[in-house]
Amino acid sequence: RLKKEALVDQLTRVGNRRFADMTLETRFHELETHKVPFGVALFDVDHFKKVNDVHGHNAGDRVLAMVSATIAGALRRLDAVARWGGEEFLVIAPSVDLRTLEHLAERCRILVQSAWLDLEGGGRLEVTMSGGVAMARAGDDAAALVGRADALLYKAKEAGRNRVFAD
């Protein structure tokens, strides 16, 4: 129980940053020793500050829980998702090529776009997310890999949001 609590984000019920760091370390080891390719998709909920400002922090928390559950449900069994920070989520996908990783990220994006929360007092709240996708390369470390995904995420935001850009 203690180990689970140490590796799970309490709000979203997916892995936390420590879990992500440990998983990345494992995947880099597999890449170096067994040549098992892997990549990451970094997602950020679009206009999340506006959700909190307009609907309150409780609604924002519910959005984060919905987004994390939606992403987790879209992944393969061997993939991992973690809350990277704030409204960012990191998917770590082993045994993929770039095309497969792009499809996986796009599936996550579309499913989040299709999901909604019922608001107290009526109405529903829908959100989108943007993403950046990058494959690990020889000589990379976690900072370099996630940094490339982050740069692509910001390009997706600048291009209008609700899209995924790949390395």
Rg (CA), the chain: 16
Query: Which of 25, 30, 87, 158 is labelled catalytic?
Result: 87
The DSSP result for the chain, as a single string, is -HHHHHHB-TTTSSB-HHHHHHHHHHHHHHHHHH---EEEEEEEETTHHHHHHHH-HHHHHHHHHHHHHHHHHHS-TT-EEEEEETTEEEEEEES--HHHHHHHHHHHHHHHHH--EEPTTS-EE---EEEEEEE--TT--HHHHHHHHHHHHHHHHHTTSS-EEE-
126 is catalytic: no
Active site residues per annotation: 87
